[in-house]
């Protein structure tokens, strides 16, 4: 008996997770510079047991409709999210807290009016990427972020865990995200199916390749400095 997708799980690599998540984010028309930051937030959220990929599936429409100009600094310690999703500003809030800590030896950033504010807890995990420690105290509609340590030795333990153990999610969830990621790809067509990198197959089945062969024969034959025609004459 075949198990339904709802009862199955799949363990994903970090690389595979990033590829699918970033494809979807690109398809939403977000500013390209935001894509790595949001991708990291989703990856770390999944690794530490927050909403992760399931939350991402639910938040796709909200991320697509993001209004970045609604996010503003009230002063150097207060960030008004303007109702935007936590992942859109998590990286910036962390950067502000780190900058404040490194300049003044203490930091406290308050973020308010955040959609899905519980996801701001991912900031504590993201801080590990910077070899720092952060606390995130949730408030009614946001959080207070504090840096408690910086310049720590050793690797990022959150990423180490993800690389070692992978990310386990329901198979149905992964399939839905995988299918959704196809929106970022070139539409399927007869022409697209004839392409294979620099090679193209025409309607009659003839293979056409590139004519700019840049193969380094000197390197392949282990004779650096000897030209191809010189080897030919020597032979």
Question: pLDDT tens per residue, the chain (235 residues)?
Answer: 344 555 699 999 999 999 999 999 999 998 888 999 999 999 999 999 999 999 999 999 999 999 999 999 999 899 999 999 999 999 999 999 999 999 999 999 999 999 999 999 999 999 999 999 999 999 999 999 999 999 999 899 999 999 999 999 999 999 999 999 988 776 766 666 655 566 666 777 777 665 555 556 566 566 555 454 444 444 4
Residue 100 sits at the vertex; the CA angle it makes with 97 and 106, to the nearest 5 degrees, is 95
pLDDT on residue 172: 96
pLDDT on residue 117: 97
> CA-to-CA distance for 228 and 224, rounded, in angstroms?
10
Cα-trace Rg, the chain: 24
Domain ranges for the chain, please list them. 5-184, 190-234
Q: What is the DSSP string of the chain?
A: -PPPGGG-EEEE-HHHHHHHHHHHHHHTT--TTHHHHHHHHHHHHHHTTSSHHHHHHHHHHHHHT--GGG-EEEETTEEE-TT-BHHHHHHHHHHHHHHHHHHHS---EEEES-BTGGGGGHHHHHGGGGT-EEEEEE-SSSEEEEEEE-S--S--HHHHHHHHH-EEEEHHHHHHHHHHHGGGSPPP-HHHHTEETTEEE-TTS-EE--S-----HHHHTT-TT--HHHHHHH-
The pTM (predicted TM-score) of the whole model is 0.78
> CA-to-CA distance for 39 and 167, rounded, in angstroms?
14
pLDDT on residue 219: 61
Q: Is the dihedral of CA 48, 49, 53, 56 positive or negative?
A: negative
pLDDT on residue 182: 87
HSE-CB for 109 with a 13 A CA cutoff: 29
> With 0-12 CB in 10 A as exposed, 13-18 as middle and 19+ as buried, what is 120?
buried
pLDDT on residue 186: 67
Residue 132 sits at the vertex; the CA angle it makes with 156 and 101, to the nearest 5 degrees, is 160
């Amino acid at each position: 008996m075949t198990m339904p997708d709802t009862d199955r799980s799949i363990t994903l690599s970090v690389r595979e997770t990033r590829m699918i998540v970033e494809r979807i984010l690109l398809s939403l028309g977000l500013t390209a510079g935001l894509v790595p930051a949001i991708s990291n937030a989703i990856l770390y959220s999944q690794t530490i047991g927050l909403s992760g990929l399931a939350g991402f599936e639910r938040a796709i429409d909200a991320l697509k409709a993001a209004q970045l100009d609604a996010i503003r600094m009230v002063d150097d310690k207060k960030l008004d999210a303007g109702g935007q999703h936590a992942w859109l500003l998590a990286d910036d809030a962390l950067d502000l807290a780190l900058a404040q800590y490194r300049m003044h030896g203490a930091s406290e950033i308050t973020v308010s009016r955040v959609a899905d504010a519980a996801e701001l807890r991912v900031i504590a995990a993201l801080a590990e990427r910077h070899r720092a420690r952060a606390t995130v105290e949730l408030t009614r509609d946001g959080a207070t972020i504090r840096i408690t340590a910086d310049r720590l030795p050793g690797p990022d333990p959150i990423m180490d865990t993800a690389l070692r153990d992978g990310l386990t999610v329901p198979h149905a969830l992964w399939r839905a995200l995988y299918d959704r990621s196809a929106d970022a790809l070139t539409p399927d067509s007869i022409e697209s199916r004839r392409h294979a990198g620099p090679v193209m197959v025409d309607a009659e089945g003839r293979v056409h390749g590139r004519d700019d062969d840049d193969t380094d024969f000197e390197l392949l034959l282990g004779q650096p400095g000897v030209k191809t025609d010189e080897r030919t004459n020597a032979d």
